[in-house]
Structure 1
Amino acid sequence: MCRWMAWLGQPVLIEELLFNTQHGIVDQSLHSRMGAEPTNGDGFGLGWYGSGEGPGLYHSVAPAWGDANLRELAGHIESPLFMAHVRAAIGSAVQPTNCHPFRHENWLFVHNGYIGGLHAVRRDLMLAIEPGLFADVQGSTDTEVVFHVALTFGLREDPIGALERTVGLIEAVAEQHGIPDAVQGTFGVSDGSTLWAVRYATQGPARTLFASSDADAIKRLHPDNPRFARLSAEDRLIVSEPFSDLPGLWHEIPQSSAVTVRHGGVLEHQAFTPRVPVSAAHA
């Protein structure tokens, strides 16, 4: 399907998490252990927040493991909040406009999974997008449609609530078309200050998603690890699959749930319950 990661914490060189980990996101692009496909080589995307206005973006259709430009950038960009995504295309073209993260103003959005029967539901979902946002959909992925529907339903004010309404709409439209597997996957969202993540599937097990343990717990478990000694209380990772096999570092995010990561290493959990938005229910 895809793999993604998000970091919120102290500023770090991006290469530390993309390249300098046992099983980081670049390694996962070639050797995913928990994904639907072991190889995710249909493009790469990086979105980061720094000193400029809004997030920066780098997209490439080259596989992450062979992208010399990515390695060069990752070795020189330091960021306190960034998201990376490796893609395994399932029906849409391999092109830069289909690479995650997607951006709107100061928001970034990534997805691992699919919208079932997209060819049948895409028109209805596109028509739900606010007219002022409609022209911003440039690619052909289901993810970009989901992002713009969520923006329409209030992502900027209430990210989890907007995604609940978005998924509720998708499931309602899919039901009208006789599509049982409406939504599958995980979603990641950030405004540059906070990070939100969702794990959900209409039916069956959802794609995997993990959060890192708090820094103090990691240091207590592995006191002799020099990399972990540099961790601060601010640091949290959300990942499609763990970056290492060391015990105690990762906690699986339950299915049908959402997490909010705030500065200070705060990790909040809540249930994720899709609901049809009022505007759609009375349309």
Structure 2
Amino acid sequence: MCRWLAYSGTPILLDELLYKTEHSLIDQSMHSKLGVETTNGDGVGVGWYEAGEQPVPALFRGIGPAWGDVNLRELARVTRSGLFLAHIRASTGTPVQQTNCHPFRYGRWLWCHNGAIHEFRELRRDLMMAIDPDLFPSISGSTDSEVMFYLALTFGLREEPVRAVERMAGFVEQVAKAHGVAEPMQMTVGTTDGDRVWAFRYSSVGKSRTLFYSTELNALRTMHPELEVLRGLSEETRLIVSEPLGELKGAWQPVPESSYGVIQKGADELGSFTPR
């Protein structure tokens, strides 16, 4: 399916995570260890925010394999950000085109997804008819991931993100049931408004795709005092990833099944996720 990461913390160059780690996102595009497919070559995208600049995030999306995208490599080596989402795509049936590459953007919001809505072609019309008419013209692609995003926006993502995504998942399951489709939802989702980052792990079958969050910096510094790179990062720095970016002992914690997490200033949050 796909691989993605979300970073929030001390501003860094994008290539530090996209290219330079032991099992970077670009490496995962060719050699995924925990994904459904080993290769994720149907497009790549990154959305990032610049402090003090235009609040609408910048967006780069390409349709080629991430490992061969020279424009992404050039951009990543000179672009610094304290909050960004990046995604490599393995299509589940919709075309390989720029408008189908993640992250998706609406105003300040970014959204990326790994997974699928089972029998999406059969459910698509009913799902799309529930999207707010004012939001509908902004849809530009044909993926289930983008439909999920606009349903979440319709159900209040900008006001109550967790509850909105729970409503989205519940609505998809309701529509699927009406069509006789069992266990339709498979998702890990990352979304942000440029201030906080929300991550969700859920599937109707109860066996969701992998998702991990990074250990608190203070604990990592205690475990690995020899790593100078950890000294330059703030205690607020966090990562959420589809699969670990390396084998550093104690660095990665699995996100529990049917749960959500929030990266934010101060204490982060971890809670249970229940479709409504």
TM-score for both structures, normalised by structure 2: 0.98
**Paired residues, what number?**
274
Counterpart of 2:147? Answer: 145
Q: Matched residues in 2 for 1:181 and 1:118: separation? A: 12
Distance in 1 (CA, whole Å) between partners of 2:185 and 2:159 is 23
Q: Show the counterpart of 2:12.
A: 12
Q: Equivalent of 1:208, from 207, 210, 213? A: 210
| Corresponding residue for residue 183 of structure 1 | 185
Question: Do the aligned residues in 2 keep the contact of 1:8 with 1:263 (CA within 8 Å)?
Answer: no
SS class of match (1:42): coil
Aligned counterpart, 2:159: 157
Following superposition, the deviation at residue 202 of structure 1 comes to 0.1
| Dislocated runs of 4+, deviation >3 Å | none
- Structure 2 match to 1:126: 128
What's the offset of the Cα at 1:228? 2.2
Q: Are 1:87 and 1:99, in contact at CA under 8 Å, matched by a contact in 2? A: yes
The one-letter code matched in structure 2 to 1:44 is V
In the alignment, the residues of structure 2 paired with residue 229 and residue 248 of structure 1 have an alpha-carbon distance, to the nearest angstrom, of 17
Show the counterpart of 2:239. Answer: 237
Per-residue CA shift, 1:16-53, capped at 9, x if unaligned? 11111001111111110000001000000000001233
Structure 1 spans left out of the alignment, 5+ residues: 276-283
Deviation at 1:79, TM superposition (A): 0.5
Q: What amino acid sits opposite 1:97 in the alignment?
A: T
State the AA in 2 paired with 1:17: L
Deviations 1:204-254 (A, max 9, x none): 410000000010111111110122232220200000001111110010000
Q: Which runs of 5+ in 2 are unaligned?
A: none
Given that 2:63 and 2:97 are in contact with CA atoms closer than 8 Å, whether structure 1 keeps it comes out as: yes
- 8 Å contact kept, 2:172–2:184: yes
Measure how far apart 1:151 and its partner are: 0.4
1:95 is aligned to: 97
Equivalent residue, structure 2, for 1:246: 248
One-letter amino acid of the counterpart of residue 30, structure 1: M
Contact 2:55 2:194 in 1 (8 A): no
Q: What letter matches 2:115 in structure 1?
A: G
In the alignment, the residues of structure 2 paired with residue 222 and residue 40 of structure 1 have an alpha-carbon distance, to the nearest angstrom, of 32
CA distance in 2, matches of 1:129, 1:201: 22
Contact 1:45 / 1:60 at 8 angstroms: preserved in 2? Answer: yes
1:76 to 67, 70, 78: 78
Question: Separation in 2 of the partners of 1:174 and 1:132?
Answer: 25
* Alpha-carbon distance between aligned partners in 1 of 2:256 and 2:66, rounded to the nearest angstrom: 28
What residue is the counterpart of 2:44 in the other structure?
44
Cα deviation for residue 178 of structure 1 reads 1.2
**Amino acid paired to 2:20:** N
1:278 alignment partner in structure 2: none
Q: What is the SS of the residue equivalent to 1:241?
A: coil
**3-state secondary structure, aligned to 2:135:** helix
- The one-letter amino acid of 1:150's match is A
Q: Return the offset for 1:90.
A: 1.1
Give the SS at the match of 1:132.
coil
**Contact map agreement 2:43 2:101 (CA 8 A) in 1:** yes
Distance 2:8 2:181 in 1: 37
Query: Which residue identity is paired with 1:40?
Result: N
Aligned residue for 1:105? 107
State the Cα RMSD in Å: 0.9
Q: Distance in 1 between matches of 2:248 and 2:67?
A: 23
CA distance in 2, matches of 1:242, 1:230: 21
* CA–CA distance in structure 2, aligned partners of residues 70 and 235 of structure 1: 24
Report if aligned partners of 1:9, 1:263 keep a CA contact under 8 Å in 2: no
1:279 aligns with none
